[in-house]
Structure 1
Amino acid sequence: MESVSTVLLIDDHALFRRGVAQLIQMNPGFEVIGEASSGREGVRLALNLKPDVILVDLNMPEMSGVETIALLRENGVDARFIVLTVSDNERDVVAALRAGAHGYLLKDMEPEELCLNLHKVLRGTAVLSESVTGNLVHALSGGQPLHANEGNLSAREQEVLEYLGEGLCNKAIARKLDISVGTVKVHVKHLLHKLDLHSRLEAVVWHREHVMRPRPPRM
């Protein structure tokens, strides 16, 4: 029997929470085990319920989604964090990712895409609404074209970056390269520093922008 993944919802709008919960519950692979109307309540529930995935609204009174994710991480909550919001502002996207979010999704997405993204994030894939990807690239580049520094990476770091771009988690990368998870973490840390990035998801975007995009022909 297929295991069921558990989900916690943190959003100050009760009607929206109810709709999202019903949508998720329609998929037999997921179970909504808790709902919170504030960040502090969400952290308390997360510590008690230990969900696999936590969906967090960005703009909430008293404590924002970014602050909530930071507090969840400070308390050692072992879950995948996804921001689910109406904001496609590049500052919000960057702030959420640098706080530790594993994904950033917009509330106007197609309903069937939600559970697909939940499955992806549980497999270790970073998820990002397509419409905010351009905003993130713009924010990371400061409005200027991104300049590739991939040549600064070692051969092993380039391999790790390729697998990050494919959405693989540390454990999967370790298996692919026949190295320890700890070694993968070190390589990720080094390549993020060399590329002046702050999170795995930023590395995914960087990889799409530089490696997966066809390069212009040389003159």
Structure 2
Amino acid sequence: MNETRLLLIDDHKLLRRGLAELLNAEDGLTVIGQASSGQEGIELARQLAPDLILLDLHMPGLSGLETLARLKPLVPDSLVVVLTASDRQDDLLAALRAGADGYVLKDSEPEQLVGYLLGCRKGRVTLDPSLTGLLSIDTPPPPRRPECDGEGELTERERQTLALIAAGLSNKLIARELGISDGTVKVHVRHLLCKLNLHSRLELAAWAHRGGFVERRAGAAESLS
């Protein structure tokens, strides 16, 4: 994989500088911009089109959630990982619904953070393990799009794909386990997002945890015909 270009958005200068130093020391990661506010981050994202954006959740002025909601349509090819001190379920779910591609706590070990970012770039679900339990708590589902079918219309292959996404597998590993191409996996992911009215792989994983799909992973490959 080519070098990953990162944009940091956080109102704490010391943290930004520390993150930049940490990430620039890693092979394959380069910080190409730093922003101290959501509005500045949006402008830099528009100019730089980074591969990955590391975004603080709670900032004065334009909040992290508002920034995230504006970034996703502006730079749809950029992955956005929320880096926050908040382990609240409402913050986590709000970030998922806004389209976050990852949610990581600021007290993570440096090598963990690097691993999360590299994994996200490779298509893995990026969620701090300590927060996994929050995904199984019942929450009201989002309203379904009228043009998309609901869960009852998921195909068997889509269900298998969903279980493997929730288990943290990348598209390449899902393709290998199910014996299909990467392109076919991408089609299944697009269908899942549409049918379930969700916005990211991470939100799919959260939905799957709440629906018990994670427990079905062991039988995913066995049910192949």
- Compare 126-135 and 54-63 and name the one that shifted more: 126-135
- Distance in 2 separating the partners of 1:213 and 1:160: 13
Match of 1:56 in 2: 55
Instruction: Summarize the alignment of residues 40-189 of structure 1 with structure 2, pairs less than 5 Å apart.
Output: 40-138=39-137, 140=139, 153-168=154-169, 176-178=179-181, 180=184, 183-189=187-193
- Distance in 1 separating the partners of 2:51 and 2:12: 22
TM norm structure 2: 0.78
- Distance in 1 separating the partners of 2:140 and 2:76: 31
Tell me, what secondary structure is at the counterpart of 2:81? strand
AA partner of residue 48 (structure 2): L
Tell me, what secondary structure is at the counterpart of 1:140? coil
Q: Shift of residue 77 of structure 1?
A: 4.0
1:13/1:53 CA distance change after superposition, 3 Å: same
- Distance in 2 separating the partners of 1:211 and 1:180: 20
AA partner of residue 159 (structure 1): Q
Number of aligned residue pairs: give it: 205
Match of 1:28 in 2: 27
Contact 1:150 1:158 in 2 (8 A): no
1:155/1:206 CA distance change after superposition, 3 Å: same
Tell me, what secondary structure is at the counterpart of 2:53? strand
Instruction: Report percent identity of matched pairs.
Output: 45
Match of 1:217 in 2: none
- 1:34-93: CA deviation from partner (whole Å, max 9, x where unpaired): 000001100110111111110000000111111111101132342110000000111000
- 1:187-213: CA deviation from partner (whole Å, max 9, x where unpaired): 3135525xxx66432332444562444
TM norm structure 1: 0.80
Unaligned runs of 5+ in 2: 142-149, 217-225
- Distance in 2 separating the partners of 1:50 and 1:190: 25
Contact 1:121 1:127 in 2 (8 A): yes
Which structure is richer in relative contact order (CA contacts within 8 A, separation 6 or more)?
A: 2
1:156/1:55 CA distance change after superposition, 3 Å: same
- Distance in 2 separating the partners of 1:114 and 1:212: 24
Q: Shift of residue 173 of structure 1?
A: 5.8
Taking only aligned residues, the RMSD between alpha carbons, in angstroms, comes to: 3.0
